[in-house]
Structure 1
Amino acid sequence: MVRRDYEDDPAAPAANSLVPAASVVVVDGAGRILLQRRTDNGMWALPGGAMNIGESLPDCAIRETREETGYEVELTGIVGTYTNPRHVFAYDDGEVRQEFSICFLARPTGGRLAVSDESTDVRWFEPDEVDGLPMVSSVRKRVNDWRGGTGPALR
């Protein structure tokens, strides 16, 4: 499914759904960050996605990371809360989603690097390598909030 991100864009379509979601900044022992290249928009992103009924948001973060990257993780903190109503995702099926997203901090505990049907590439990056990667602004905000080390961010 194709996705288009709109942020603070007056031409954005109106949201027709609100979805709780999790994203995860996974950092290994060397201080590198785990990113995936998404199939729906070709951009680099954090692992994450929508919460399922019957699932907690931390469980969602762990599941999405495993599904999208091949790694098992332990959550160690929260990077921030992201709820900008002027940021929507328009999908080709007509859904226009506003997310309520918590970005967690995690460390890998097992598994191995693997792509999924949602990614074309999964890699570890040094923090300074991230600046040159194609990435939507909302993901870049989360990465920058993590790099800034200022604690939980409210967005």
Structure 2
Amino acid sequence: MSLTEASEKWLAFAKRVQAIAQAGLTYAVNDYDTERYEELRAISVEIMQELSGEDPDKIRALFTNENGYQTPKVDVRAVVFRENKILLVHEKIDNCWSLPGGWADVGYSASEVAVKETREEAGLEVKPIRLLAILDKKHHPHPPSPYHTYKIFILCKAIGGSLQQGMETLDVGFFDRNNLPPLSLERNTDSQVQILFEYLENPEKEVYFD
């Protein structure tokens, strides 16, 4: 779905209204407050429905699957280089390629997620080396998303295992920066991958954040 600049602003409004509604429902002290925050949530669902054309029930379920004060979701990606190429996995979900990784799991540190996801999706055992970047998804050319997401990129060194597909991947391989396969834009963009290659050329480059 291609959104105009105005539509992107309304998407941001809908997510903000939803966040306020969820926080309000968490801390509401009476039925009057609860009713008003439920109304705010309904408004956010209606805006999202108008923008996306999705079933309102589907959007409502998406917005109500979490409780408590709403915070950004965290996506962790492992960055593994070999012979001046970067490790990518072929995602089953959209038939495109991404850095191994995914949503941060409760009970795991960010580096532990990078290790776990690389083993499960690419077959490699890796050792986390350093943090490369923390990016706010809204500042990058990803498709529209109902979630506000922070993306963490961790440089890792392969120490064992062998390249093999996982339950969620169709293939795995290393790619040159000028010969990348079609990327899964929901997960990573070309501009982000190009930023990561800068660390291959300049290992002392400071952590990138926005």
Question: TM-score per shorter chain, which class?
Answer: 0.7 to 0.9
**Gapped runs of 5+ residues in structure 1?**
91-95
**Gapped runs of 5+ residues in structure 2?**
16-62, 64-69, 200-204
Q: What pairs with 1:113-128 in structure 2 (closer than 5 Å)?
A: 113-128=163-178
Residue-pair matches, total: 143
The runs of at least 4 consecutive aligned structure 1 residues that moved more than 4 Å come to: 11-17, 86-90
* Higher share of residues assigned strand: 1
TM-score (normalised: structure 1): 0.77
RMSD, aligned α-carbons: 2.8
Partner of 1:154: 209
CA 1:117–1:78: 2 relative to 1, 3 Å = same
Q: Is the 8 A contact 2:120 2:167 kept in 1?
A: no
Distance (whole Å) between structure 2 residues aligned to residue 33 and residue 76 of structure 1: 15
1:50 has 2:100 as partner: no
* Higher share of residues assigned helix: 2
Report the identity percentage. Answer: 24
Distance (whole Å) between structure 2 residues aligned to residue 12 and residue 65 of structure 1: 32
| Bigger shift: residues 79-88 or 39-48 | 79-88
1:134 has 2:149 as partner: no
Distance (whole Å) between structure 2 residues aligned to residue 63 and residue 56 of structure 1: 10
| Bigger shift: residues 51-60 or 133-142 | 133-142
1:24 has 2:102 as partner: no
Q: Is the 8 A contact 2:177 2:194 kept in 1?
A: no
TM-score (normalised: structure 2): 0.59
Partner of 2:52: none
Superposed CA deviations along residues 31-73 of structure 1, whole A, max 9, x for unmatched, are 2211111111221110011111111111011111111100011
Q: What pairs with 1:1-150 in structure 2 (closer than 5 Å)?
A: 10=8, 14-15=14-15, 16=63, 18-28=72-82, 30-85=83-138, 90=145, 96-130=146-180, 133-135=181-183, 136=185, 138-149=188-199, 150=205
* Bigger RCO of structures 1 and 2 (CA < 8 A, at least 6 apart): 1
Distance (whole Å) between structure 2 residues aligned to residue 139 and residue 117 of structure 1: 23
